[in-house]
Amino acid sequence: MRKTLVLAGVFALLSGALPAQAAAEIQAVTANVTHDPGNGTFSLTVQREGRTVVSPSPVGIRTAAADLTSGLREVSRSTRTVSENYRMTTGKRLDRTVRHTETRISIAGAGNARFDLVVRVADDGVAYRYELPEATDVLSEASAFSIPANANAWLMPYNPQHENRRFRTTAGGASAGEYGNPSLFEVGQDFVLLTESNVDGRYAGSSLRHTGGGVYQVQLKDQRVAGARIGPWRTVIVGDLATVTESTLVDDLAEPSRIADTSWIRPGKVAWSWLSEHSSPSDFERQKVYVDFAARNGWPYVLVDEGWSDKWVPELTRYARAKGVDILLWFHWNRLDTAAEREATLPLLQRWGVKGVKVDFMESDSQVRYQFYDAILADTAQRKLMINFHGSTIPHGLARTWPHLLTMEAVHGAEQLPLPDGNPIQPFTRNVVGSMDFTPVSLEVGPKVTSIGHEIALPVVFESGWTHFADKPEAYDRYPEALRFLDQVPTVWQQTELVNGYPGETAVFARRNGERWFVGGIAVGGARTMTAPLNFLGPGPWLVETIRDNGRSDVTRTSSRMSASDTLSVQVPANGGFAAVICPATEGRTTCYNSIPQVPATSLTITPTNSVTAKPGSTFEVTGSFTVNSIRPVMDVVLKPTAPEGWTVAGNPVTTRLLRQGEVLSGKWTVQVPVTARSGGFEVPIAAEYRVPDFPQVHVAKAVRGLVPLTGQAYVSDLPFDSATNGWGPVERDMSNGESGGGDGRPMSIAGTTYTKGIGVHAESEVVISLGGTCRAFTAKVGMDDETTSPGSSVFQVVGDGRVLQQSGVLRTGDAPLAFNVDITGVQVLSLKVTDGGDGKNFDHANWAEAHIACNA
């Protein structure tokens, strides 16, 4: 005889064991855990209002010590209510309330091996996980979900970056194979979304393997999960389409925030250049154009993607911050995958004033990669650097645990130049589980098969704590009315409502920020009338500004007064859409649009303006004067220098509570160079920081630049670089270039001869070192590294103060090393450059073996 435990929200705790029929009448969602004593198996059934949405599905786990999938018996059970309130920095709504019934069933198998099955039931779904009495290796799970074969399904073939297209099929009709979380099913009048929550480095991620007949088996992405004790939540979000879409169950199941003070975490809009012009992140002047665009449109960030240089990022950061804009930087994940790399890089980003990082190409759901997520989230939080994961797994509730995680990719987004038919699937699938970095609003980049109204609706339909806009400034400026709307759209929401829609056809969302509602609607297919019932509004008249298509030239905006009983109707073209801004229709109010804040005009002068030569143990004086040139005063001004790490400054910051137009705040300080100061270039930024309404803090800075001259003799690999650029991965010290990660090279080898000292690079590359005119000779043996599997070719150049001092001919793989012996007397700045040999940069792994500099004492 089967034994069934019915779990039905808080009433299961209050009323004890309820019969299934009574439980269904009291609670919309129920979970039935059934034990079959014949084979000793347990299964889970999920119902909504008495309708079965997940048929009996196996539960159980296999570890290195025991098979806990059959021959099982129940030992005990207990039930409690989980009640929590928490606040997010991103998502569908900031303030969250959790009310779950949690039942813990202690289960034993052969040899009295045990585990606890922990089941939670909420108004919007069911979740369960396995808890083991001690850490052990997990081999697999019996976990599966049995969905009616005729249920409509929206699935994505699994790949580790979660970027494949989603498509419509049926639960039973889908081909056998792996599908990615989250997966959506329409079971009669109910919807079911399968996914997982609270997955971190203690476990591995998973996919859903369709084994036939609508059964979807949880498949771990590691064959052996090491040292596991508490598994992730196997999560079933259940309800009508609005309940599923608006669900926060994935976040509700995650661990609480590990960051007490979140005041430094700031979502917002981001200007981003990579998609519209791939080479632009390597262009300092072009990035300044994006900064200027962001500043005048009130966008708080610019993301500088792959190609940026440490030669100019500090200056770009200062330029941006003076305009009220902050800089975010892209990284390949293996530039930050070790603790040593993060310890070297993250403090440097802090000193530059960078506010966050985009980390890319993780492309794995393995336990080891999840341990990387854990480590970099902890380290960036410690340094108060926000983060965005690309080429990543899906959200698992990490944004609750680490609220400085602003968004994640894991979507077939704008970078794939997608067709529009996938757009109305994403908000009902991928975006349900967390912020989604689709990089929307492609007006001129991409296939251009959607209307302008469709594109500008995407930042409302899609939720992302950071919204990275896909196109270039000139494109947006050519659509001024569309841009005006984008300037108004926030990325933080107090409330989210699905107004109407159906996966793959239409999606209309309303999201509230403060007193204003933003509505976005998208459709695919032919022209139609889209509607948005306004019953999400409160009482009183409302001013509704509707933004609709006007051919491909731009959009138009019209205003009307409406109420919560009205329905907004908009004619849209093929693959069209619309947007709206709604605010209280108070007396005299003519628009819901707010003015775009701008920072006041100010100026900062510093001395010395020429480069400083500072020997170890010496001192030098710096001054700064900050002036307000705007009629708007600034508040809480602090003027101070920041010395390099390990250096000291004599003199206190200069402060004032209020600085008005024409007033000047000045200071003078003495900088002490330590006797242990390393040679090379340095900066001493002098900054004025102040507050002004609409900006958390404005930072205006200029840098006194100088040089600690090199003395004695040293290998180049032991010296600090002013900057280093490389054609593939980072420049490596005392090893070959290797692959794209840091520290992954091999011993340097040229034509069979191995070298222990030198730098390994990949064309095109440049290493810059400040000398200060005190050195006399540079020597090296140069050539192509033997690790290249196909012929490489490069040209080596030694450049002093912009002048080529020695250059090789084309050197190829297998050529004998060429000796360089270069007179560098009087050279201030030395550059070691490697260019390709005229046949492209592929395989151009080049070595500056035994690179050495001799200087005066």
In the beta sheet, which residues pair with residue 511? 496, 518
Record the tokens describing residue 532, joined without a space.
Answer: 């948005």
Record the tokens describing residue 583, joined without a space.
Answer: 């605010």
d(CA 181, CA 391): 15
Active site residue 116: no
Which of these is catalytic: 360, 497, 545, 722? Answer: 360
In the beta sheet, which residues pair with residue 512? 495, 517
Burial 47-83 (b: 16+ CB within 10 A, else e): bbeeebbbbbbbbbbebeebbbbeebebeebebeeee
Give the DSSP letter of residue 246: H
Q: Is residue 184 classed exposed, middle or buried when 0-12, 13-18 and 19+ CB atoms within 10 A define those classes?
A: buried
d(CA 582, CA 534): 10
Which of these is catalytic: 74, 415, 566, 663? Answer: 415
Closest CA to 331 of 741, 743, 745, 759: 741
Q: Is residue 619 classed exposed, middle or buried when 0-12, 13-18 and 19+ CB atoms within 10 A define those classes?
A: exposed
Closest CA to 431 of 467, 399, 462: 462
Helix (H) or strand (E) holding 267: none
d(CA 777, CA 722): 19
Closest CA to 182 of 347, 191, 173, 320: 191
Give the DSSP letter of residue 8: B
The owner of tokens 């019932």 is: 533
Record the tokens describing residue 722, joined without a space.
Answer: 């002013």
Record the tokens describing residue 646, joined without a space.
Answer: 């390990």
Q: Are 193 and 183 spatial neighbours (Cβ–Cβ below 8 Å)?
A: yes
Q: Are 175 and 186 spatial neighbours (Cβ–Cβ below 8 Å)?
A: no
The DSSP string of 517-567 is EEEEEEE-SS-EEEEEE-TTS-SS-EEEEEEEEETBTEEEEEEEEE-TT-E
Give the DSSP letter of residue 324: T
The owner of tokens 């201030």 is: 828
d(CA 364, CA 91): 24
For 19, list phi and psi in degrees, rounded to 5. -65, 155
Active site residue 415: yes
Q: Are 823 and 832 spatial neighbours (Cβ–Cβ below 8 Å)?
A: no
* HEC profile of 374-412: HHHHHHHHHCCCEEEECCCCCCCCHHHHCCCEEEECCCC
Q: In which order are the strands placed within the sheet that holds 634-641?
A: 612-613, 695-708, 680-692, 634-641, 654-659
The owner of tokens 């102040």 is: 690
Q: Please give the positions annotated as active site.
A: 360, 415
